[in-house]
Amino acid sequence: MLITLQQSGLALGVATLGTFYLALAPHDVAHAFTDVEYVQMGIVALLAVGAAALPRFTDAASGAAPVVDA
């Protein structure tokens, strides 16, 4: 499921940002590229904030010894 969502996100991201670039490119290529890069940086910032907000699951936090199957 994770791989499917990742691949779908990559494809949709390329399609969306590519369409955005092509819509702006006829007016000014440099400006269109800059706008698309700002959108990409905004997406990366949102993902970083979202990843930082995820709960931490560590062995030290739970205080329990790890279970090892033999």
Measured CA to CA, the distance from residue 40 to residue 67 in angstroms comes to 42
- Over residues 13-28, the pLDDT tens digits come to 999 999 999 999 998 9
Length of the chain: 70
Residue 56 or 30, more confident: 30
Domain spans of the chain, in order of start: 27-53
The answer to whether the pTM exceeds 0.85 is no
Query: pLDDT band at 57, cuts 50/70/90?
Result: confident
Share of the chain above pLDDT 90, in %: 67
